[in-house]
Amino acid sequence: MKIFNLTKTTNFFDPSLNNKNSFINFIQKSKKENNKTASDVEKIINDIKKNGDEALIKYCNKFDKTNYTKATDFIVPKADFDNSEKILNQDIKNALKEAYSRIKDYHQKQLPKNFLYKDKLGTKLGNSWRPIESIGIYVPAGTASYPSSVLMSAVPALVSGVKKIIICTPSSSQVINPAIIYAAKLCNIETIYKIGGSQAVASMAYGTKTIKKVDKIVGPGNSYVTYAKKILFGEVGIDMIAGPTDITIIADKKNNPNWIGADALSQLEHGFDSKAFIITDDLPFAQKILQSINTLKEKLPRKKIIDQSLKNSAIFVVNNIDKSYEIANFIAPEHLEIATKNYQSIAKKINNAGAIFLGNYTPEAIGDYIAGPSHTLPTLGSSKFSSGLSVYDFLKRISIISCNKKSFLSLAKNTEILAECEGFQAHKLSITIRKNDL
């Protein structure tokens, strides 16, 4: 993890300071697109489209250490749903139940309202919200397993009124975490397929003999999953193009460096390409944070992953913590913690963030599991133009327009003029033919 001392500048984005060793270049740099991965994904997608279940079995056996011989092998049987409740200890079940309840309560408050009004001409205008009919949830299970992702994706969909939900999650030797099954059971999801990677995304997008095509696919995944979603967008709806997870922490020098270090580690342990950026107002404090990170990581089982992700991470030391929002908005983080005395005033100046965690007692991990908002958030700086997963991702807005004879005639002339202007004579005709018959 690098430390950038920015205390000698008042303009963080002075063009003369932007060179290959600058903090701006460090933030912006990311791994180049892996063309081989993209090529592999396209081949897998085309194979699934052409050969369906047969191709699915082949790729599961190749990538997930399975030994499937028929399509029914990758369907989680009903008995596993029943057993999941018996296998899990009560503490895990209680935690998942509380998370389910809190996520549901939060998203119920997001539900938009229909509206319909009559304008001064007598035209009725409005919109009506309708749920997407079917979705597929991808639940990662590579270096870790994520029952929380089941809840964070499924509950907003349920609140929105989605009727058909399926899950795809990779298995290890044909076994999946019973906590994933139990979380699905809490959400009344009865169909889980033990398949992962781009083959799972393609199967949900195109459908196979065993898996029915869905209207939208949501949920995070590795680079193969991300490429597949990117390629298949249009064939099916997707939630977002997700990249490596990241966190930015704004912390003044009065903080506990161990707390800040632990919060950075909470994201760095996700994967080799995860990122953590810390903005503080004191160089000695920055050094204490780095020392804390180096000490704490030695006790963690995912230390090898953390050692790699630390290479993508940095601490920025500024003169005035009140100006930290400028760097934060430039980063446009997935997660933003503001652990300062004046966190409310800084938060008001944040335009770009997937989720903001305020105060010393709101570590990002609270949001990952139990706070309420979905933990599926925009990455790679995309919080500049997008938001985290919510009920809106599972709803369609339908416009409603209704003219009576009087309002039609009031709007007819200008409609004809605009249709003529654009060269669409049939558009004009559909107006004129009615006028002539009145």
Active site residues: 334-335
Q: Dig out the tokens for 48 from the structure.
A: 């699934």
Q: Rounded to the nearest 5 degrees, what angle is found at the Cα of 220, between the Cα atoms of 214 and 223?
A: 105
Which whole-number Å values give the CA distances from 394 to 126, 162, 401, in the listed order?
20, 7, 23
Contact 237, 394 (CB under 8 A): no
Nearest partner of 138 among 199, 190, 201, judged by Cα = 201
96-100, long-range: CB within 8 Å, 24+ apart, which pairs?
96/147, 96/151, 96/179, 96/182, 96/183, 96/186, 97/186, 98/370, 99/148, 99/151, 99/369, 99/370, 100/151, 100/155, 100/183, 100/186, 100/187
Element (DSSP H or E) covering residue 224: helix 223-232
Q: Dig out the tokens for 183 from the structure.
A: 């979380």
Contact 345, 207 (CB under 8 A): no
Q: What share of the chain is helix, strand, coil (3-state, %, to 5)?
A: 50, 15, 35
Count of CB atoms situated within 10 Å of the CB of 69: 9
Place of tokens 């997608």: 45
Contact 85, 185 (CB under 8 A): yes
Count of CB atoms situated within 10 Å of the CB of 283: 14
Q: How far apart are CA 98 and CA 104, in angstroms?
A: 10
Phi, psi of 315 (to 5 degrees): -115, 135
Q: How far apart are CA 202 and CA 196, in angstroms?
A: 10
The DSSP call for residue 74 is G
213-217, long-range: CB within 8 Å, 24+ apart, which pairs?
213/134, 214/134, 214/135, 214/136, 214/164, 214/166, 215/132, 215/133, 215/134, 215/135, 216/132, 216/134, 216/135, 216/136, 216/393, 216/394, 217/135, 217/136, 217/137, 217/138
Count of CB atoms situated within 10 Å of the CB of 165: 23
